[in-house]
């Protein structure tokens, strides 16, 4: 990435932060996504988070400035925390990931830091409820598989993705930040290449759907020693 591209994102971030601080003087402001971690490139978005009790309705807006797409999420901390708790069972838990990856720009009332604590709690909930979540995923996967034929339809695809989620849950994996490469299948490719290859074969049409998905579901949700959970 060239210095000019770096300067364009940095200058836009500075202007956006100043405008948001003027509009929400007590808010916690954060930059998230690739810009927060210094991984951005010329085509990267600029992702911003505004957390304030003065926000009466949560909303998101997107616009282009200086050739950069800017996404702004504005949220009341209590409502956003409740939504993160509801999201907790999911591998991606997008809202928590958004908060956990945020680099603080300003936080005069500590609202962003408090929300970050709720995000960490939401991630912990996933692990605390692991047994119940696995049972629910297994029941759903097997129910959808029973309705699936030997084509990759909504039923078999859902059963397959429930198995992927179950594999992550058994291994204690969670996407902890909003970053490229943290999607469920991408993480599976890194952490469990053999299982990923079996899933990819089904998705690519190189394996018979119903038998292959059934084997994957059985592998992930079959009886295992308790200490593997």
Of the residues 85, 106, 127, which one is the last residue of a structural domain? Answer: 127
Give the three-state DSSP class for 93: coil
What's the confidence (pLDDT) of residue 4?
A: 53
Q: How many CA atoms lie less than 13 Å away from 21 in the CB half-sphere? A: 14
Same domain for 93 and 104? yes
Backbone angles phi, psi at 102, to 5 degrees: -75, 135
CA distance 105 to 178: 17
7-57 per-position pLDDT tens digit: 889 999 999 999 999 999 999 999 998 899 888 888 899 999 999 999 999
What's the confidence (pLDDT) of residue 145?
A: 93
On the question of pLDDT at 2 being above 60, the answer is no
Return the closest-CA partner of residue 209 out of 147, 140, 165: 147
Same domain for 222 and 142? yes
Of the residues 71, 103, 127, which one is the last residue of a structural domain? Answer: 127
Q: Which helix (H) or strand (E) holds 107?
A: none
Q: Which residues contact 42 (CB under 8 A, 6 or more apart)?
A: 1, 2, 5
CATH number of the domain encompassing residue 91: 3.30.460.10
98-135 per-position pLDDT tens digit: 999 999 999 999 999 999 999 999 999 999 999 999 99
Same domain for 108 and 168? no
Return the closest-CA partner of residue 216 out of 131, 157, 153: 157
On the question of pLDDT at 3 being above 60, the answer is no
Same domain for 108 and 15? yes
What's the confidence (pLDDT) of residue 1?
A: 46
Same domain for 148 and 111? no
Of the residues 127, 148, 174, which one is the last residue of a structural domain? Answer: 127
Same domain for 78 and 122? yes
Q: Which residues contact 208 (CB under 8 A, 6 or more apart)?
A: 150
Segments forming the whole domain that contains residue 193: 130-228
140-194 per-position pLDDT tens digit: 999 999 998 889 999 999 999 999 999 999 999 998 877 777 899 999 999 999 9
* Total of domains in the chain: 2
CA distance 81 to 229: 27
Same domain for 35 and 119? yes
């Amino acid at each position: 990435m060239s210095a000019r591209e770096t300067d364009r994102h940095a200058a836009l971030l500075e202007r956006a932060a100043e405008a948001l601080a003027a509009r929400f003087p007590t808010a916690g402001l954060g930059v998230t996504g690739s810009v927060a971690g210094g991984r951005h490139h010329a085509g990267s978005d600029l992702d911003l988070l505004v957390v304030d009790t003065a926000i009466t309705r949560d909303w998101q807006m997107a616009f282009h400035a200086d050739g950069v797409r800017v996404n702004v999420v504005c949220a009341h901390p209590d409502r956003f925390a409740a939504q993160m708790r509801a999201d907790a069972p999911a591998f991606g838990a997008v809202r928590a990931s958004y908060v956990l990856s945020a680099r603080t720009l300003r936080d005069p009332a500590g609202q962003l830091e408090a929300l970050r604590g709720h995000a960490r709690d939401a991630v912990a909930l996933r692990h605390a409820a692991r047994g119940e979540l696995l049972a629910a995923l297994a029941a759903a996967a097997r129910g959808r598989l029973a309705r699936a034929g030997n084509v990759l339809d909504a039923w078999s695809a859902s059963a397959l993705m429930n198995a992927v989620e179950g594999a992550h849950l058994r291994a204690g994996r969670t996407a902890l930040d909003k970053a490229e490469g943290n999607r469920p299948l991408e993480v599976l490719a890194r952490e469990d290449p053999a299982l990923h290859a079996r899933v990819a074969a089904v998705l690519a049409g190189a394996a018979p759907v119903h038998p292959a998905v059934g084997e994957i579901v059985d592998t992930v949700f079959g009886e295992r020693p308790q200490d593997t959970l």
